[in-house]
């Protein structure tokens, strides 16, 4: 048997130019197929298909944001974003990680900060959904430790746990635009995690959010709890019941 046929080396510069042309709106000339025929029209169809797929992916990832903005405004913003930010992965469900930042840069949304917060919650929701699996720490896991060791306990966050600031009503706006709407969900910070197969969302007040952030950063329990206005037992119980952590250990004293 002869040697297998090897593919011809790819022209990196040509690939880059082709990818860059996908973000433009003007007609592209000078393109030909393998038989030397003009391929400009076919490229335009392909470019429109890529743009439409990107916009559809954004609408699927940010449904509450689309409801808040209205279809025409969202679709126009999505198209502008898709032209400027091409997908970096074939997994389109993860596309749009910087879309909330793009919305935040729009002058027309300066008076509606809750929309940006809702978009950030939706982005975090997708991240939590696709995060690594891990068994959540049982709600009664701390009871195995002696009372004297509780102050030095360090909790390891579940891989899906996310915190999103929403002080301007973004969590309430996100909840109201779910299908069906979710009642009574508010807070200065949204906590998202996925202890099993479903992403869970809870609102935290400012002291509870700071407490959660300190725990996630690796602070021992007593150190994380030094906060005015924190209702320690309730906050800790809520975080554990949500499945926000995956493990617990005792900090080693120097």
95-112 average pLDDT score: 96
Q: pTM to 2 decimals?
A: 0.82
Report pLDDT digits (tens) over 21-53. Answer: 444 554 455 555 555 555 454 554 446 677 888
**What strands lie across the sheet with 200-204, from one edge to the other?**
162-165, 189-193, 200-204
Could you read off the pLDDT of 14-28 as tens digits, one per residue? 444 444 444 455 445
Beta strands 153-157; 162-165: pairing state? unpaired
* Average pLDDT for 107-130: 97
Domain ranges of the chain: 39-87+97-111, 130-250
Contacts of 16 (CB under 8 A, 6+ apart): none
Task: Show the beta-strand stretches assigned E in 134-182.
Answer: 153-157, 162-165
| Start-end of H helices in 178-253 | 206-216, 221-224, 232-242
pLDDT, greater one: 86 or 65:
65
CA distance 238 to 213: 14
* Residue 68 neighbours by CB under 8 Å, 6+ apart: 112, 114, 115, 118, 173, 177
pLDDT of residue 33: 52
pLDDT at residue number 169 = 97
- Residue 89's pLDDT is 75
Q: Chain-wide mean pLDDT for the chain?
A: 86
Element housing 17 (H / E): helix 12-21
pLDDT in tens, 194-232: 999 999 999 999 999 999 999 999 999 999 999 999 999
For helices 232-242 and 206-216, give the axis angle rounded to 10 degrees: 60
């Amino acid at each position: 048997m002869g040697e297998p046929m090897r593919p011809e080396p790819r022209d990196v510069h040509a690939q880059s130019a082709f990818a860059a042309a996908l973000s433009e709106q003007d007609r592209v000339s000078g393109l030909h197929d393998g038989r030397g025929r003009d391929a400009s029209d076919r490229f335009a169809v392909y470019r429109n298909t890529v743009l439409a797929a990107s916009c559809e992916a954004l609408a699927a990832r940010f449904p509450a944001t689309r409801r808040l903005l209205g279809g025409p405004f969202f679709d126009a913003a999505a198209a502008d974003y898709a032209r400027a930010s091409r997908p970096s992965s074939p997994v389109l469900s993860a596309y749009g990680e910087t879309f909330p930042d793009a919305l935040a840069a729009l002058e027309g949304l300066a008076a509606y900060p809750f929309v940006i917060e809702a978009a950030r919650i939706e982005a975090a929701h997708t991240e939590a959904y696709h995060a690594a699996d891990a068994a959540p720490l049982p709600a009664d896991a701390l009871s195995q430790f002696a009372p004297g060791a509780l102050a030095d306990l360090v909790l390891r966050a579940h891989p899906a746990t996310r915190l999103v600031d929403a002080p301007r009503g973004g969590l309430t706006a996100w909840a109201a635009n779910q299908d069906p709407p979710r009642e009574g969900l508010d807070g200065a910070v949204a906590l998202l995690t996925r202890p099993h197969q479903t992403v869970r969302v809870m609102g935290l007040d400012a002291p509870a959010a700071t407490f959660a952030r300190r725990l996630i950063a690796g602070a021992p329990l007593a150190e994380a709890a030094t906060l005015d206005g924190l209702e320690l037992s309730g906050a800790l119980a809520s975080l554990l019941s949500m499945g926000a952590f995956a493990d617990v250990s005792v900090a080693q004293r120097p």
